[in-house]
């Protein structure tokens, strides 16, 4: 039996491995010059593979999960990700926040070991093969050698989302499945802010400690001031709420309640300016003080009013950064177009996995875990379907 996997990211690589393990001859086609380019980019600052925490909390990070995604994660969760990495010779460690990284931090050693294992299993790797649709006889590709048509008994699509097009995730595949795709939206992205000149010296500075408030969601984290607005992990954790219309506020003193802040502000300040009083009484660093002055001018003198602002400082955002700059995307191939094994209902023998599916998760290891899990789930389902294929056709 022949299997075709289209897309050389984590989901596609995992699907190819499952298919090869089941005894199928596997062709893996990737449109970029090398495999796993987005994985390598993610690993530049430390490859966060998964999150070690109570399973209820881990699952809750994905929100209301469709059945196939829940089944995929049940079969390949955080413990399995760590075991998989060790199986590729990469020891892992868990940081203080529960995030799991390879000991070497980078993605490149893991990817090299993975590609070598796939080659050893007989997986045929092809790069610069751009999928352009189906035609009679199989899947068509534009390649350096001209148009190629690959025939297969089963196919797994792992075509990525619609962000980071320079790494291969351009969402162009959506035109090939026009009736099955929910509109793409940015996820885990920064937001624009029209800063005054007062903030220019703080561009590039981290904001911490801080809690970010978006509607009913409150997340302790940090963000970074950029020339265009705010970015960073703490903001990404509430980015879906902000994208969907929630207002943003910052708690500049997350370790104190409002009354405690007000009591500190009520202390006599003598001849000190209000700014100096804020620095001394509350230990506000220049970055958080600048944010307070940016969004709450003129600062009220009443301690209780000022304390309330410090604990929930309104931040006027002017929309998310562009889709292509987002770490990931929401939208994509709808789950109602797929069966429990991630096979397209109207295209038997064609399965889908990874970021091209319509799901959304925060950063922190959740994204990569679900890509690996859905790739494994689709690969296993495709292998099982291939085994039953001749009887079904007969």
- Per-position DSSP letters for 69-100, written without gaps between them: HHHHHHHS-HHHHHHHHHHTT--EEE-TTSEE
258: three-class secondary structure by DSSP: helix
How much is the pLDDT for 394? 25
How much is the pLDDT for 378? 98
Query: pLDDT confidence of 114, banded at 50, 70, 90?
Result: very high
How much is the pLDDT for 375? 98
Query: pLDDT confidence of 393, banded at 50, 70, 90?
Result: very low
How much is the pLDDT for 263? 95
Q: What is the CATH number of domain 2-186+326-393?
A: 3.50.50.60
Q: Which residues contact 193 (CB under 8 A, 6 or more apart)?
A: 228, 229, 230, 315, 316, 317, 318
Given a contact cutoff of 8 angstroms between Cβ atoms, the answer to whether 331 and 185 are in contact is yes
Answer yes or no: is pLDDT of 146 > 50: yes
How much is the pLDDT for 309? 96
Answer yes or no: is pLDDT of 80 > 90: yes
Domains of the chain by residue range: 2-186+326-393, 210-315
Answer yes or no: is pLDDT of 274 > 60: yes
382: exposed, middle or buried (C-beta count within 10 Å: 0-12, 13-18, 19+)? Answer: buried
Nearest-angstrom CA–CA distance, 234 and 40: 22
Nearest-angstrom CA–CA distance, 48 and 28: 25
Nearest-angstrom CA–CA distance, 125 and 252: 51
Pairing between β-strand 2-6 and β-strand 25-30 as defined by DSSP bridges: parallel
How much is the pLDDT for 23? 95
Closest CA relative to residue 221, chosen from 251, 244, 264: 251
Query: pLDDT confidence of 137, banded at 50, 70, 90?
Result: confident
How much is the pLDDT for 278? 92
Answer yes or no: is pLDDT of 317 > 50: yes
Beta strands in 20-144 (DSSP E): 25-30, 50-51, 92-94, 99-102, 124-127, 130-135, 138-143
Given a contact cutoff of 8 angstroms between Cβ atoms, the answer to whether 199 and 226 are in contact is no
Query: pLDDT confidence of 109, banded at 50, 70, 90?
Result: very high
What is the CB-side half-sphere exposure of residue 262 using CA atoms within 13 A? 12
Given a contact cutoff of 8 angstroms between Cβ atoms, the answer to whether 226 and 191 are in contact is no
Find how far residue 51's CA is from the centre of its chain: 13
Answer yes or no: is pLDDT of 240 > 70: yes
Answer yes or no: is pLDDT of 136 > 60: yes
Q: Mean of the per-residue pLDDT values for the chain?
A: 94
How much is the pLDDT for 239? 95
Q: Which residues contact 202 (CB under 8 A, 6 or more apart)?
A: 225, 286, 287, 290
């Amino acid at each position: 039996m022949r299997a075709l996997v289209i897309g050389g990211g984590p989901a596609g690589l995992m699907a190819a491995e499952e298919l090869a393990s089941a005894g199928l001859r596997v062709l893996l086609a990737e449109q970029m010059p090398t495999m796993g380019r987005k994985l390598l980019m993610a690993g530049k600052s430390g490859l966060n593979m998964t999150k070690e925490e109570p399973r209820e909390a881990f699952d809750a990070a994905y929100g209301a999960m469709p059945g196939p995604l829940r089944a995929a994660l049940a079969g390949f969760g955080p413990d399995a990700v760590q075991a998989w990495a060790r199986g590729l010779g990469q020891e892992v460690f868990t940081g203080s926040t529960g995030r799991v990284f390879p000991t070497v931090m980078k993605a490149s050693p893991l990817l090299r070991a993975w590609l070598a294992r796939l080659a050893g299993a007989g997986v045929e790797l092809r790069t610069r093969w751009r999928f352009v649709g189906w035609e009679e006889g199989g899947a068509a590709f534009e390649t350096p050698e001209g148009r190629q048509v690959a025939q297969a008994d089963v196919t797994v699509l792992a075509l990525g989302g619609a962000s980071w097009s320079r790494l291969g995730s351009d969402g162009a595949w959506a035109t090939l499945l026009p009736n099955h795709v929910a509109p793409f939206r940015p996820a885990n992205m920064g937001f624009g802010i029209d800063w005054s000149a007062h903030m220019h010296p703080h561009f590039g500075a981290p904001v911490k400690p801080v809690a970010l408030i978006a509607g009913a969601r409150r997340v302790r984290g940090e963000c970074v001031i950029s020339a265009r607005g705010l970015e960073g992990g703490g903001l990404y954790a509430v980015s879906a709420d902000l994208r969907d219309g929630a207002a943003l506020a910052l708690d500049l003193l997350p370790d104190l309640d409002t009354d405690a802040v007000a009591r500190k502000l009520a202390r006599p300040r003598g001849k000190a300016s209000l700014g100096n009083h804020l620095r001394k009484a509350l230990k506000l660093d220049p970055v958080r003080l600048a944010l307070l002055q940016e969004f709450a001018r003129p600062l009220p003198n009443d301690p209780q009013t000022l304390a309330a602002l410090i604990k929930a400082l309104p931040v006027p955002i002017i929309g998310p950064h562009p889709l292509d700059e987002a770490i990931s995307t929401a939208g994509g191939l709808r789950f109602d177009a797929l069966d429990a094994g991630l096979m397209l209902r109207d295209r038997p023998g064609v399965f889908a996995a990874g970021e091209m599916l319509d799901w959304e998760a925060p950063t922190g290891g959740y994204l990569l875990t679900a890509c690996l899990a859905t790739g494994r789930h689709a690969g296993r389902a495709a292998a099982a379907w291939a085994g039953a294929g001749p009887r079904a056709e007969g």
